[in-house]
């Protein structure tokens, strides 16, 4: 306050902003976390508290995680609509030594091809569209079918939206798929894979992109591989191994 010699009207405006942020909060909406996100505070705190030490890097949880994703079998589709480019996501859950982590649990969730999560479009998207809870096999391997998600705007109908507007910042996040990966004896990992080449990959509104999380969603034209995965040909294939840290 000393540095900028805050005026009384400026102080009043700051109080009004914080009051509006509080009034926007309810059981579903947390405007203060969104404020922390767009100021880069969430990502900084996340990074300080999860120095990776060679493991997969973490990133923000975001507001669209639901407590119970539906349990699905390896190879199932998390997409229940069929719009958007068909896609297979594969990988292995490993320890830092490269040993597989059999039976690791992977909670995944993503927006659809229009950039909306199921919870933003009740009655439009089926419940739990774009979500799944998978268990890695004995080799730590996982694979599932989906569609390539779109980039999307964070919620802008509250004071955080006004803040972005006033500071001439866009509200978009690049396309990504969220993961929470857990296994006994390892620290839980909250992360995303980002679609390489997505719009806004260089200017995420919440500063959550880390280079190591950018993943090629390679175009594949191989009818027999597509048939093996039970997906339409051609399709996109993303491969991403996840390395967990042991609990200290
Ligand atoms: C998300 O990726 O779901 C998200 C993260 C931070 C703010 C808004 C959305
Ligand atoms: Fe997201």
* pLDDT tens figures, 118-151: 999 999 999 999 999 999 999 999 999 999 999 9
Residues surrounding ion ligand 2 at CB below 5 Å: 62
Cα separation, 209 vs 103, whole angstroms: 28
Residue 1 lies in a domain: no
170: CA distance to ligand 1 center in Å?
A: 14
At 148, phi and psi to the nearest 5?
-70, 125
pLDDT of 78 over the 80 cut: yes
Return the closest-CA partner of residue 129 out of 192, 82, 75, 195. Answer: 82
Is the CB of 62 inside a 6 Å radius of any atom of ligand 1? yes
Return the closest-CA partner of residue 239 out of 130, 152, 150, 144. Answer: 144
Which ligand neighbours the alpha carbon of 64 most closely?
Answer: 1
CB atoms within 10 A of CB 109: 25
Phi-psi region of 140 (alpha: psi -120 to 50; beta: other; left: phi over 0): left
Residue 139 lies in a domain: yes
Q: Give the range of the structural domain holding residue 15, as residue numbers without chain letter.
A: 8-244
- Which protein residue has the closest C-alpha to ligand 1 atom 6? 62
Is the CB of 206 inside a 6 Å radius of any atom of ligand 1? yes
β-pairing, 152-153 vs 172-173, is antiparallel
Res 152: pLDDT: 98
pLDDT of 187 over the 90 cut: yes
> In total, how many domains does the chain have?
1
β-pairing, 105-110 vs 176-182, is antiparallel
pLDDT of 212 over the 90 cut: yes
- Which protein residue has the closest C-alpha to ligand 1 atom 5? 62
Residue 3 lies in a domain: no
Res 54: pLDDT: 87
What CATH number has the domain bearing residue 227? 2.60.130.10
Is the CB of 204 inside a 6 Å radius of any atom of ligand 1? no
Residue 236 lies in a domain: yes
Is the CB of 245 inside a 6 Å radius of any atom of ligand 1? no
- Which protein residue has the closest C-alpha to ligand 1 atom 3? 62
Is the CB of 37 inside a 6 Å radius of any atom of ligand 1? yes
Cis before residue 68, ω within 30 degrees of 0?
Answer: no
pLDDT of 52 over the 80 cut: no
Res 67: pLDDT: 79
Question: Is 0.85 surpassed by the pTM of this model?
Answer: yes
Is the CB of 64 inside a 6 Å radius of any atom of ligand 1? yes
């Amino acid at each position: 306050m000393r540095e900028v010699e805050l005026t009384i009207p400026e102080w009043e405006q700051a109080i009004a902003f914080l009051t509006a942020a509080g009034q926007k909060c309810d059981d579903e909406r947390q405007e203060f976390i969104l404020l922390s996100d767009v100021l880069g505070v969430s990502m900084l705190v996340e990074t300080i508290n999860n120095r990776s030490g060679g493991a997969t890097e973490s990133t923000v949880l975001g507001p669209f995680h639901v407590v119970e994703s539906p349990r699905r079998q390896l190879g199932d589709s998390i997409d229940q609509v069929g719009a958007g480019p068909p896609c297979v996501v594969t990988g292995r859950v490993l320890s830092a030594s490269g040993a597989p982590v059999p039976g690791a649990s992977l909670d995944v969730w993503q927006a659809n091809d229009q950039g909306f999560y199921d919870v933003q479009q009740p009655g439009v998207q089926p419940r739990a569209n774009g979500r799944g809870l998978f268990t890695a096999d004995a080799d730590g391997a996982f694979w599932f079918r989906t569609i390539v998600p779109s980039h999307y705007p964070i919620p802008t109908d509250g004071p955080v939206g006004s803040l972005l507007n006033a500071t001439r910042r866009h509200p978009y996040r690049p396309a990504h798929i969220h993961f929470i990966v857990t296994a006994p004896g390892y620290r839980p990992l909250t992360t995303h894979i980002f679609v390489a080449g997505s719009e806004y990959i260089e200017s995420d509104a919440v500063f959550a992109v880390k280079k190591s999380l950018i993943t090629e969603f390679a175009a594949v034209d191989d009818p027999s591989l597509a048939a093996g995965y039970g997906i339409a040909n051609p399709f996109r294939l993303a491969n991403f191994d996840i390395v967990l840290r042991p609990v200290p």
